[in-house]
Structures are given as C-alpha cells and as structure tokens.
Chain A
Amino acid sequence: MPSPRRADHNPGLPLAGPRAGPGTACHRAITLRRCVSFSLYARLAGYGFRKHATYVGAALAGAFTNSVFGVLRAYILIALWQARPGLAGYDVTAAVTFCFVTQAFIGPMQLLGGGLTLPERIRTGDIALDLVRPAPLQLWLLAEDLGRAAYQLLLRGLPPMLAGAAVFGITVPRDPARWAGVLACVTAGVVVSFAWRYLVCLSVCWLADDRGVMVCSMLLTTLLSGMMVPLTLFPGALGELVRALPWAAMAQAPADVYLGTAPAGPTLAFQAAWGAALLALGALATRAVRHRVVIQGG
C-alpha cells in the first residue's frame, strides 16, 4: 500500500505507486511517455491477474463453497422444473446448467460484492495519490479488475461447472461461434459489474460509512442478476423490468447466451449500453471526487 510520503521521496515522480518504482516495467513506461496506452492497461490487467493468483487456496475454497451452493440450488430448480416442465423456455438440464453457470459467475463478476479496495483508500486518503497517476483512475482499476476476473473465471468459475457436470450433467455448447459469443458476453458482464461496483465504492466519498451501500448493492445484485433464481421466473411486467436493468447484464444475460436461449449480438449490445452508461456515470463521479479531494486539501 503506497503512502503519500513515498511520493514525497520522489519529487520527480509524483505518480509513483508501488508498481511504478525505478526499474520496474511501469517506470519505463512512464519515462517513455507511453503511459496512457494499451500496453499499460494490458500490464495492469496482468498485475491484477498475478495479484489474485497469490491466493490459490482462497480461490479454491471459494470455488468449493460456490459448488456446494450450486448443488443445493440445482435441487430446488429441478424440483420446480419437475412440477412445471418447460417453464420459462428452459428444460430441466437447461435450468441446472443455468444454476451452475451463474454460480461460476460469482467470482469473476463479484456478485456478492467486494473486489475493489477503493473504499479503504478513500478513507485513508490514499485516493489523492491514485488520482494523480498517469492514467485515469477508473480505467486503471478497470484494467486491474479484468485481470482479476480472468483469474477468478479460471479458478472459481471452472470448479462449479465441473461439479455440476459431475453431479447432474450440464449442457456444453459445441459451436465455437457460441463460445466466442459467451466469452464476449462474460467480458462485457465483468465490465458492467466493475462499472457498478466502482460507482458504489465512490459513494464512500459522500457517506461516512460504506457498509450500508455495500449491503444495498449486494442485495440488488444477488436478487436482480439472476443468481438466486432465473430472472425469467419473475412475473409479467416485473420480469420485463428486471431483465432490462444493469444487474441482468452480469449473470442472466451471459448465462442465456451460454444456453443458447438468447442471441449473442443483441445481448452484447444490451450489456455494452449499460457498461457505457455506468462507466460514463463513473467518470463524472470521478471528476466530482477529484474536486472534493482538492477541497479537503487532500
């Protein structure tokens, strides 16, 4: 965790964080004035991946828990689909697959909240340092978060799918084009999830206590992303509404593309629209935060 004092030690390098010390890759990037470029973001994504790759045990423990909950939820969905075959356009196998796919999304999409250390940094004042880094705070964190998501997709996403395949049997798309669509939609889902969590985190600047918003966010995300029950089960107009909200882009939409019950193109457009809207809001909020930090003299 970089402290402001460290920046004082390097007056020529006001941008220095722990990853931008002399001799490191980012330092070279700064001196070559290539900072706000694709390679910087690719590197940040790599760091995000590596940062989380340190905790293999924790990721596998999380995957185990996600798998257990997946099994419990799958039994309930099976009971429902046995009572109502073909409900919401899914058969029993599709419903079980949906359950394990959304369970696999918990890690990458951070459906239970968290994943960003921003609130702590705002409280400690480290945010002032983050705001003067050579890349916009939001994109910087987005790149890191994409790296984190890639790692968690592998370690927390695959085990629940394998558990589902072993216990119940799930469908796996055979068409490579569908897989490409799934990957694109999962990535878009991570972007929407990040944009939402970023907004939630920034709210700490205006609220003394972040727990309230965090719980609110978790509440909305778990219920409205389709993680607890498929959104297609919500009745009538309520169902229409929840399927159009940004949380649907995090689990329901990519899961439907995986199952083939929704086309990849329009789903991607829906996710991209929400991603762009939330990122734009986040950018505005970042500007406001920058203003606020200056006012406080931070």
Chain B
Amino acid sequence: MVRTYALLAWTWTRAAMAYRASFALMVVLGVCVTATDVAVILVIFSHTTALAGFTRDEVLFLYGAAGLPFALCDLLVSNVDRVSQHIRAGTLDTMLVRPVGTWIQLAADRFAPTRAGRVLQAAAVLGYALAVLDLDAGRLWMVPVMLATGTVIFAAIWTLGGAAQFLLTDAPEVINSFTYGGGQLTQYPLSVYGRDLVRGVTYVLPLAFVNWQPALYVLDRDDPFGTPGFVRFLGPVAAAVLALLAGLAWRQGIRHYRSTGS
C-alpha cells in the first residue's frame, strides 16, 4: 500500500520537477501563502500581549502543532476531496477497476510535492515556539503524540469529506468548511471561540484533540472551559474512533457508488 502510494507520488513529483524554476517558485509561494496566517497572528499580537489568555509564543506553539499535521495531510491525503470531480468526469470508474485501493489512488492523484514547503514552514514555527517557550521537559513527550494524533484526525476528516462527496456531488465546496475550516480553527487557542462551538469540536468533530487539549497539558494550563484533566490524554482515542468512522463511511461511499450505468 505504502509502496504503491510512494510510486504514484514519485511519478507526480517527477512530472512537477520537469519545470524546475516553476517547481521552486511554487514551493516558495506555498510557504508564503501559509506564512500569511503567521503574519496575521503577528499583526494581532502587535496590538495586544494576550489573546483570550494566551501569549504570542503560546499561540505560535498552537499554530505550529496544528499546522504541521494539517500541512502533512494537505500534502499526502487532501486529494481525496476531489472525489466529486472524478465522479463527474467519469475517472472514478477507471480507478475502481485498477488493482490498487481506490483511496490510495485518489490520495496520490495529482500529488503536489510543492506543498512540502508548507510542512517545513509549520515545522519552523513549531520549532521556534518550542525554543522560546520555557516548557517543562517532562511534558514534552506529548508533542510527538499530538502531532501523530493531529495527522490521523485531519486525514480522517479529509476521508470523511471525500466520502460525503458521493452524496454532495454538486457542492464539494461544503467540505472545505470542515477540512480547511478545521485548519483555520486550530490555529488559535479554543478559548477564543464560543462555548457551543468548542463543545462541538470536542465531542462531535474532535478537532480539539489536534492541539488544544494536548497543548493544555504541555503548557501546564487549566482548561478555561473546565474539562477534567484526563481529557488531555484522550487524543489518540478520539483519533482512532474518528479514523474508524471515516473508514466505514468511505467503504459505504464506494459500495453505494453507481456509475452512469451506461
């Protein structure tokens, strides 16, 4: 599975590398696009020292901790949200008859290696935040755990979005609210948002476990919304449940897909 994915991804990479100047330009521009989000954070913190109780460096830590898994999934998985395009163009049928899993093919389809720049940008912000924040070394083990959790959660959300497009063939942009919206939401401490929204992203769509709950542990903070301490460690469980649901939804979508029937 991994080998097939790597092979497909490498094919697209070689295609993209054919125009080296264009490739380099796209990498740099990709970094710039995500850097605008950091620019916004810096502009906001040029007017205040704390946003909803969090300092600039803490917000940058949250940004990096969510941005890295988000950028990784954007690079590796996000292409599954083009299901509706493939359905309309009829290319999904070709994928179904090939001897490789449809999800793998879709995820690797039009693999854009230029998005790797965004991964590096997010990693740089996270590294900066970890360096300047005076964190308790005994709690740092949570950082790799939260990165893995976040990657699984975002990948699952993208898969759910892809599965939903078997129903929403004409309006795929709705999915962006949850995928890119999730990326936007997790850039800031959840204490910024309203109580109901935070409940929703804790108990329904577990975006709170991407960075918020584990970061509260790393930063040694109490939850302003008063969730009990053990919730900080529930991230992997939430990610596993969501991944399971996404897998089931994807299977349902594929199973119930009907071609044009001609």
Contact = CB atoms under 8 A, between A and B. Distances in A.
B22 A61 contact: no
A5 to B, nearest CB: 25
A179 interface: no
A212 B25 CA distance: 7
A121 B237 CA distance: 51
Contacts of B25: 212
A64 B176 CA distance: 10
A2 to B, nearest CB: 22
Given A61-B172, A83-B51, A229 B177 contact: no
Interface string A192-232: 00000000000000001101100110110011000011000
B19 interface: yes
B173 A219 contact: no
Interface in A24-83: 57-58, 60-62, 64-65, 68-69, 71-73, 75-76, 78-80, 83
A107 B138 CA distance: 49
Contacts of B48: 80, 83-84
**Main SS class of interface, A:** helix
Interface string B38-73: 011001101110111000000000000000000000
Interface in B145-191: 168, 170-174, 176-177, 181, 184-185, 188
Interface string B16-49: 0001001001100110110010011001101110
B32 A219 contact: yes
A68 B193 CA distance: 13
B226 interface: no
B192 A75 contact: yes
Contacts of A78: 192
- Determine the interface band of chain A, counting residues with CB < 8 A from chain B: 35 or more
B194 interface: yes
A64 B174 contact: yes
Contacts of A209: 19, 22
Interface string B73-106: 0000000000000000000000000000000000
Contact of A68 (B51, B52, B181): B181
Contacts of A73: 184
B67 to A, nearest CB: 15
B36 A79 contact: no
Contact of B29 (A64, A72, A215, A223): A215
Contacts of B185: 72
B193 to A, nearest CB: 5
A61 B172 CA distance: 7
A58 to B, nearest CB: 6
Given A58-B173, A69-B181, A222 B22 contact: no
Contact of A72 (B33, B168, B181): B181
A87 interface: yes
A211 B26 contact: yes
A262 interface: no
A81 to B, nearest CB: 10
A65 B43 contact: no
B14 to A, nearest CB: 17
B47 A76 contact: no
A11 interface: no
A157 B171 CA distance: 17
A233 interface: yes
B22 A212 contact: yes
Contacts of A208: 19, 22
Given A79-B51, A83-B51, A219 B171 contact: no
A235 interface: yes
B40 A80 contact: no
B31 to A, nearest CB: 11
Contact of A211 (B22, B32, B33): B22
A270 interface: no
B171 A223 contact: no
Interface of B: 19, 22, 25-26, 29-30, 32-33, 36, 39-40, 43-44, 46-48, 50-52, 168, 170-174, 176-177, 181, 184-185, 188, 192-194, 197
Given A69-B184, A79-B188, A211-B26, 10 more contacts: A61-B168, A61-B173, A64-B173, A75-B192, A75-B193, A76-B44, A76-B188, A208-B22, A209-B22, A229-B40
Interface of A: 57-58, 60-62, 64-65, 68-69, 71-73, 75-76, 78-80, 83-84, 87, 208-209, 211-212, 215-216, 218-219, 222-223, 228-229, 233-235
23 contacts: A57-B171, A61-B174, A64-B174, A65-B176, A72-B181, A75-B194, A76-B192, A78-B192, A79-B188, A79-B192, A208-B22, A209-B22, A211-B26, A212-B25, A215-B30, A219-B32, A219-B33, A222-B36, A223-B39, A228-B36, A228-B40, A233-B44, A233-B46
